[in-house]
Structure formats: structure tokens, C-alpha cells
Amino acid sequence: MLSRADCDLLTQVGPGTPMGALFRRFWLPALLPAELPAPDCPPVRLRLLGEDLVAFRDSSGRVALIAESCPHRGASTFFGRNEEDGLRCVYHGWKFDVTGACADMPNEPAESNFKHKIRAVAYPTREYGGLIWVYMGPVELTPELPQLEWALLPDDQRYIRKIFFDSNFAQAQEGEIDNAHTSFLHRWFDTANLPNQRSFLSPALWNDGAPRLTVHETDYGFTYGARRGLGDQGYHWRVTQWLLPNYSLLPGRDGLYFGHVWVPIDDEHTWNYYYSYNVRRSFTPDEVAYFESGATGKPRMVAGTFMPVATKHNDYTIDREMQRTTNYSGIWSSGEQDLAVMQSMGPVYDRTREHLGTSDAAVIRSRTILLRLAKQLQAGHEPFAAHHGELYRVRPLDKESPHTDFGALMDEYRTEAMAPQRPSG
């Protein structure tokens, strides 16, 4: 259980908040490149860490993120003209380049130097790993991009989609690092017909609902092992990576790995970037189609948006007959199952009312680390991981082993758990 003060510290991410300041020390995914498909294309509104922004790709192909309010009198730059290497406010013609500098001020006399005194709030961006990233912190502390394995692979070996979550980032990401819920929320009664064979690799997930968790804190966050019994065959270990400030990384089958990045929009809403990648080969068209539709074969997203089809307004398409006869939840795909329970808590759950047990060890540790780093940053100590991108070269594991000790397991498979360094091109 958290105190009221720590609940607020954990979940409030706007300008001037300690957690917001911590997130601003890292590069964060901001957009999919397809949202800005060509030079001088229409600008895009977005909201990140409680700030209203507009993104545009200028005539030279560079991506800019600037404050939505024009510095002149606050009109929205979303309505601006994207032309001649800048975004021009339609109210009085002021034009801003990708750095936020005012490049033209046509409503002032030609001899005026006023435009040289005006800047729009602008944040640096990078196109990397199939995403457009933004850094919103102090420019003199600009960090390294994280050397995530999926970001270093060719485009045809990864898949990324973006989903809107109607909840705070913390409770959204905590579902991803809660291994025990898999045995219940994602259970299918006939595992031969399990839709997601790529992710749920062992019958132990269904046969042992009380995994023994061990969490090892690292410079990049933590890794934790969930141990389940296999009778005379030893143990099944599922090892998850949690990387600062907001990444999960889980194992799949035959070179497949996957996870999520949880980017706070504001205190009550989150962008979820789901990523999947295969270190051995390109994805097939059938695999991409599965990522797009899940097990149902139907679109998961409302056409032309990042809004899921399954929402609280249709009870996440729960089927009570399916719940009685086919699976534990009555909701078809694991992603929608997660969405239902995470959002059913409300936008920001009151954590003073929780009763946490041993299976919540990873959730407790993630909160502890984030709260500690936010408080340390207030005291002037910068987050180490932000400036050491090489720390992110790690992998999760899914192993059957006789080891009862997590440390012994990781010693045996340490080479496998460290992703090889790849050139970023």
C-alpha cells in the first residue's frame, strides 16, 4: 500500500511534477513515422506529459514538436500552414522552424528585429527504430537513445502498433510486469486451442497460479523470474525485463520477443506502443496480419485511429458463454483482456486501498524504483540509465530448469539474456 503522497508522486506527470521531470530525462516515443508520412504533410496534434503539442515534418523532411499555442496570442499552431521549412500560424503569419525559432513575422515592419526575440517551445526529435522519439528535458542534459534490440533491427524484423489507454501509465505498465495474472486472466480451458501460442509457452502457466517471484534490481531497472513447478521435470522460469522508465520485455518462441512502452499523455491517459520482433528472420505477412487482428481475425482498432474496438462502452466485448465454456475471462484476445482489467480500475486507482501479496513483488519494486529516482532527481541526482544506452541490450527468458535459485538460473543463461550489440546504421 502506498501513502497518499506517494500515490500522487507516482502518477502525476505534468510540468513541474517530480515524476514528470524524471520522464523528461529520457527519450520517449512520440509518434509513428506514418503519422507524418511526407515533407509538408498536415501537422498532428498530440499531448505528452501533460503538454499540448503539434508535430510537423518540414520541407526538408525534419520532424518538429512545438507547443500548440502560438507565442503571439495563443492560437493553435495545428491550423498552421506547413510550408518552406516551417509551420506558419494562420492567425498573423508567424512562422516557426523545427528548432522553435521564429523565421518570419510578416505582420511587423520589415526593419523590425522582433522576430529574433521570439521562440516557440520546441523539443528535439529523432527517427529511430521505427518510431519518432522526443526529448523534453533540459537540452544540456540530452541523454543517449536506448540501445533496445528491437530498435536496432531492420524494419521487416519488427512490428509496432500504437494504442490509446484510458488510464494512468503506472497501472497500465504494472499489468505487464505481473506474471501471476497470466494463470487466470489469460487462461484457456483447452490449451490446444490457445490463440496466442507465441507467448504462453508452458503448461505450468495454467497449472500453477502462485509463482515464486524473485526480483533483481539493475542499473536499467530490474529483471525478475517467476518460478512455477513442473513436478518431476523441475521448474518453469519466465524471466521478464523492466527497463527505465517505462518498458517491458517478455519472451516468445523461436527468436520472438515482445513488450510495451507506456508513454504518459497526462495523469489519466497513456499511449501504449506494443512492439514485437524476431532476432532470426523477417516477419511473414501472416504474422503481421495476426499482430493487426489478434486471434479473432477482426480489426482491433477503430479504422483510422489508435482507439481500440474493445472499450468500456461495449464491456470489452465480453462473451459470458465463452467465459463459462472456453476461457477464464470471456474476452477473446490477451491484449483486450489486459485492457479491460487495467481500465476497470478507473483512470487513477487509489493505491491506499490495495492489499498486495508476494506475487506483487515486481509491481512493488517498479513503484519503489520510480519513486526513489524521482526523489533523487529532486535532490540533484540524474538517472544513470538515461546516459548509458548500452544498458538496454538485454533479453527476457523462458526456460525449463532444475534450478530453484534465480541467481543460478541467470548465471547459466547470462549470455542468452544479454542481447548482442548491433550497429544502429
User: In whole angstroms, what is the distance from residue 84 CA to residue 71 CA?
Assistant: 20
* 52-79 tens-digit pLDDT: 999 999 999 999 999 999 999 999 999 9
Percent of the chain with pLDDT over 90: 83
- What is the side-by-side strand order in the sheet with 81-82? 81-82, 87-88, 95-96, 102-104
pLDDT tens digits for 284-293? 999 998 888 8
**Is residue 45 within 8 Å of 54, Cβ to Cβ?**
yes
pLDDT-derived band of residue 237, with 50, 70 and 90 as boundaries? very high
**Measured torsion, CA atoms of residues 308, 310, 311, 317, in degrees rounded to the nearest 10:** 180
Q: Where are the domains of the chain?
A: 28-134, 149-417
Determine contact, residues 321/332, Cβ cutoff 8 Å.
no
Average pLDDT over residues 253-265: 95
Q: Is the peptide bond before 245 cis (omega within 30 degrees of 0)?
A: yes
Contact, 283 vs 159, CB < 8 A? yes
Q: Which residues pair with 271 in a beta bridge?
A: 164, 263
Model pLDDT for residues 390-417, shown as the tens digit of each residue: 999 999 999 999 999 999 999 999 999 9
The predicted-structure confidence for 316-331, as pLDDT tens digits, reads as follows: 999 999 999 999 999 9
Whether 424 has a pLDDT exceeding 50, the answer reads no
Return mean pLDDT, the chain: 93
Residue 295, pLDDT above cutoff 80: no
C-alpha cell at 333: 484476445
What confidence category does residue 425 fall into, taking pLDDT thresholds of 50, 70 and 90?
A: very low
**136 or 203, greater pLDDT:** 136
Residues 86-128 have pLDDT tens digits of 999 999 999 999 999 999 999 999 899 999 999 999 999 999 9
Query: Positive or negative, the Cα torsion across 291, 292, 297, 300?
Result: positive
CATH 3.40.50.1110 fits domain 149-417:
no
d(CA 99, CA 84): 14
The pLDDT-based confidence of 196 (bands split at 50, 70, 90) is low
Q: Over the stretch 203-233, which tens digit does the pLDDT of each residue have? A: 777 788 999 999 999 999 999 999 999 988 8
Q: 140, exposed or middle or buried, with CB in 10 Å at 0-12, 13-18, 19+?
A: exposed
Query: 28-134: what CATH class?
Result: mainly beta
3-state SS track over the chain: CCCHHHHHHHHCCCCCCHHHHHHCCCCEEEECHHHCCCCCCCCEEEEECCEEEEEEECCCCCEEEEECECCCCCCEHHHCEECCCCEECCCCCCEECCCCEEEECCCCCCCCCHHHHCECCEECEEEECCEEEECCCCHHHCCCCCCCHHHHCCHHHEEEEEEEECCCHHHHHHHHCCHHHHHHHCCECCHHHCCCCCCCCCCHHHHCCCCEEEEEEECCEEEEEEEEECHHHCEEEEEEEEECCCEEEEECCCCEEEEEEEEEEECCEEEEEEEEEECCCCCCHHHHHHHHHHHHCCCCECCCCCCECCCHHHHHHCCHHHHHHCECCCCCCHHHHHHHHHHHCCCCCCHHHCCCCHHHHHHHHHHHHHHHHHHHHHCCCCCHHHHCHHHHCECCEEEEECCCCHHHHHHHHHHHHECCCCCCC
Count of beta carbons in the 10 Å neighbourhood of residue 299: 12
pLDDT of residue 195: 67
Rounded Cα gap, residues 63 and 224, in angstroms: 37
pLDDT in tens, 35-49: 999 999 999 999 999
